[in-house]
Structure 1
Amino acid sequence: MSIPRRNLFRSLLAGGVALGIGLVALPSHATDAGVKVVYHLSDGIPQAARAIGNIRNHLAADPGAKIVVVTHGAGIDFLLDGAESAPGKPFAGSIGELAGRGVEFRVCNNTLVSRKISADKLAMEAKVVPSGVAEVAKLQAKEGFVYLRP
């Protein structure tokens, strides 16, 4: 007799529980309030504009989501003082609004150094991290964040 694949895992799990076998917990991608997500931005203003819309929609659907935006390369541009979207709308208001809803913005120090940009040119909501790509990896591997790239 063959067990359908979708039922195989359930059967193994039930058998393990019945036998008292300890099961290893997989990293959780959810907090008590909602899912944990890292948005990865490295492509500049158009990508940032898409991300802002995506994050607003995300929070509308899951208000308890824990969202961290990690930027490097051209992805930091929307977090620089005076940055505007293509139609000329400043990003500052959107950044402040999202930060007020718990969204964190992290900026790669390697990018700042290579582009000779002082950290005081960043939006006040931005936090500098040593490496953007290392931050994305850490959030995924060690903190259970799921990855999104708008």
Structure 2
Amino acid sequence: MKALWRTLTLFFASLAFAAAAQAAEPVKVVYHLSEGIPQASRAVQNIRNHLAADPSAKIVVVTHGLGIDFLLEGATNQMEQPFAGAVADLANRGIEFRVCNNTLVSRKIDAAKLVPEAKIVPSGVAEVARLQAREGFVYLRP
């Protein structure tokens, strides 16, 4: 009987430990942008709100197609305000920005025109899929 109690105690203790460890992990979110400046403006605000509610969130922004435009040097929103400051601020808070190389090639955009915070990945859609399937990221599309 003592062995049974010891086994049950260890079992429930391990469950509690596993639950506590899982709760401590940050929520991982991929924001998928492919539609251009208006979507990017919404995304920047959504990410700011997201961080206000959950400062520990791990957020990656993956862009392709027209979604890369806000990560080009000199890009502005609909009110002619530059994106560079917002991108730099978010990057300083741990947000990662990834740009599709396929888009750069097909649109003939030199990678040197990207803001310094942008990281090039081979394929934007493949990166979104990888983050979801292999790294457990939740998908959001603003």
- TM above 0.5: yes
CA distance in 2, matches of 1:72, 1:31: 32
| Partner of residue 17, structure 2 | none
Corresponding position: 1:127 with 2:119: yes
Residue 135 of structure 1 aligns to which amino acid in structure 2? E
Q: Select which of 22, 40, 54 maps to 2:46.
A: 54
1:34–1:63 CA contact under 8 A, matched in 2: no
Residue 138 of structure 2 aligns to which amino acid in structure 1? V
| Partner of residue 77, structure 1 | 69
CA distance in 1, matches of 2:107, 2:75: 16
Shift of 1:138: 0.0
Corresponding position: 1:144 with 2:136: yes
**1:81-120 alignment to 2 at 5 Å?**
81-120=73-112
1:33–1:65 CA contact under 8 A, matched in 2: no
Deviations 1:60-118 (A, max 9, x none): 00000000000000000000000000000000000000000000000000000000001
Gaps of 5+ in 2: 1-7, 12-21
**Larger helix proportion of the pair:** 2
CA distance in 1, matches of 2:89, 2:23: 22
**1:3-82 alignment to 2 at 5 Å?**
32-82=24-74
| Partner of residue 24, structure 1 | none
Structure 2-normalised TM-score? 0.83
CA distance in 2, matches of 1:70, 1:33: 22
CA distance in 2, matches of 1:89, 1:32: 37
Shift of 1:34: 2.0
Count of paired positions = 123
CA RMSD, Structure 1 to Structure 2 (Å): 1.6
CA distance in 2, matches of 1:112, 1:93: 22
